[in-house]
Amino acid sequence: MWKEKGQNIIEYALMLALVVGIGSFIYTQGYGDNISAVFNHAGNLLEEVNKTQEEAKKEAEKAAARNDDRNYADHMAELLKDAIKNGVLVMDDKTTVYLLAQNKPGTKLDNSFVNGAVYGQTKVNGKSYGNKANQVGFDGLWKAVDTEGSYSKASVHQSDIDWYGVGITRNGDSYNLSYVEGKGYNKNNGFDPRTGTEYKNKSWPES
């Protein structure tokens, strides 16, 4: 038994001597810097991979937020089209009406995150709204066209915009839908949706 232990100790000593010898050879032959460089390069690559993964995660989160907002904008467009088809919303020619979501609660509609505007003359359930020259706040349109109260779910998920929405303009017997989003407010929590960036445009009825 002592013979076996002694043999094991001798084997470990020989292995240690071999490892030390290889290390000394590498160091004396000038390979140490090269090996160090390899490990440093590997470390840099790992940092780049982690950075790239973090950037990809942020881009995915940004895309998801954008999709959430634009899907809700599609819902706005359907509300406007249904209101016109059902006679709830009657627009004069060249009039534009907007439904909008914003990242601030509005005071005129249950403190929800929605807004509205009309440029021109229109009727909602027979009541006249609008002005030939100026924008008129149009919060009441939401309740008229959104009987299920889905406006309570409106929000802005994107961090780089303050509001988004859909404007519908009558041109004779057809309509044009402009999907816009933008930043900034002016006095009284207001903004002009016509100054927003348009990311989609559609005609309706679709030809």
Residues in contact with 24: Cβ distance below 8 Å, sequence separation at least 6, in sequence order: none
- pLDDT tens digits along 151-185: 888 999 999 999 999 999 999 999 999 999 999 98
Angle between helix 32-85 and helix 2-28 axes, rounded to 10 deg: 80
pLDDT category at 2 given cuts 50, 70, 90 is very low
Give strand pairing partners of 179. 166, 200
Parse the chain into domains and list their residue ranges. Answer: 2-53, 70-204
- pLDDT tens digits along 132-145: 545 555 667 888 88
Measured over all CA atoms, what is the biggest interatomic distance in the chain, rounded to whole angstroms? 109
Arithmetic mean of pLDDT, 22-46: 61
pLDDT at 117 over 50: yes
pLDDT category at 8 given cuts 50, 70, 90 is low
Residue with tokens 């009441």: 140
Give strand pairing partners of 129. 122
- pLDDT tens digits along 50-76: 777 778 788 889 999 999 999 999 999
